[in-house]
Amino acid sequence: MVRRLLPLILIQLAGCASAPPFLPPAEPVEVRIPVDRPVYCAAPPPARPVLPIGALRTGSSPAETLRSYAATVIILKGAVRERDTLIAGCAAPPAPVQGQAATQAHK
């Protein structure tokens, strides 16, 4: 009977010997990674300008059409300047220079 059970016992022991080592359960580790964040503004969207070109009719004279186009270009250039001013107000502050950062840290 021992001769029959001995191979089974040896196989079972060999199976336990090759089992992976016991590892404690993994614990979560918090890692802080700096992430660039966009600068948000509370600027209202610029109003859509009323363009003189929208008032043109099919029977408008060429001189009136040209004046409407010229006035539209002027209005749109002003709208672009206004938009650029709003966007410039939302820009990130400039990064401090190396020497300034060190003196500010010591204050």
Q: Can you list the residues of the chain whose pLDDT is less than 50?
A: 105, 107
pLDDT of residue 47: 84
pLDDT of residue 71: 96
pLDDT of residue 72: 95
Question: Could you give the C-alpha distances from 34 to 14, 31, 37, 72, 92, in angstroms and in order?
Answer: 50, 10, 9, 46, 16
Residues 6+ apart with CB under 8 A from 46: 79, 82, 83, 86
Output the pTM of the full model: 0.48
pLDDT of residue 92: 67
